[in-house]
Amino acid sequence: MRIELTDQPLESDESFVIAQTRGYNATFTERDVRPLCVFNRNDSGEIVAGLTGRTYWNYLEVEFLWVSEAHRGLGIATQLMEKAESEAIARGCQFSQLDTFSFQALGFYERLGYREFGRLNGFCGRHTRHFLSKAIGTGVSQLNKQ
């Protein structure tokens, strides 16, 4: 046996490890991972703002949220988040989670009701990564009070 370290893995090797991990996880959970994306397009069809994420195991996981500089401050990010949360609830989700760096949008997410549950300091020697969650489904409002 030997240990191999690489920053250029074969796609098949990386896929194999992911598949094995998901196979193990499936013995404890159901496979209900679904992408969830919300886009705001201009009249030419170009994306001026977007949100990417996925839903699984009663959670919405927001992965990326971006608004072009020319369209910031217009409430578009809030609309994208509300649309994503609404769809997640329709899919049976009870919670939402995301992370953001200190130079990104912590205050924005807190204004939307997200609460920090963890953080990691020292990214690039000066940035903090904040982990946040929010109860979005019915009957789980207690999480927001913690």
Dihedral angle computed from the Cα positions of residues 89, 23, 65 and 107, in that order, rounded to the nearest 10 degrees:
80
For the cut 50, the answer to whether the pLDDT of residue 145 exceeds it is no
**pLDDT value at residue 30:** 83
**Angle (CA) 38 43 45, round 5°:** 55
User: The tokens of 117 are what?
Assistant: 């549950």
Q: Which of 136, 123, 138, 127 is nearest to 81 (CA)?
A: 136
Tokens of 134: 């929010």
Structural domains of the chain, ranges and CATH numbers in brackets? 34-145 (3.40.630.30)
pTM for the model: 0.86
User: Does residue 60 contact residue 136 with C-beta atoms inside 8 Å?
Assistant: yes
pLDDT tens-digit series, residues 17-63 = 999 998 999 899 888 899 999 999 999 999 999 999 999 999 999 99
Q: How far apart are CA 131 and CA 10, in angstroms?
A: 31
Would the pLDDT of 139 be above 70?
Answer: no
d(CA 49, CA 69): 9
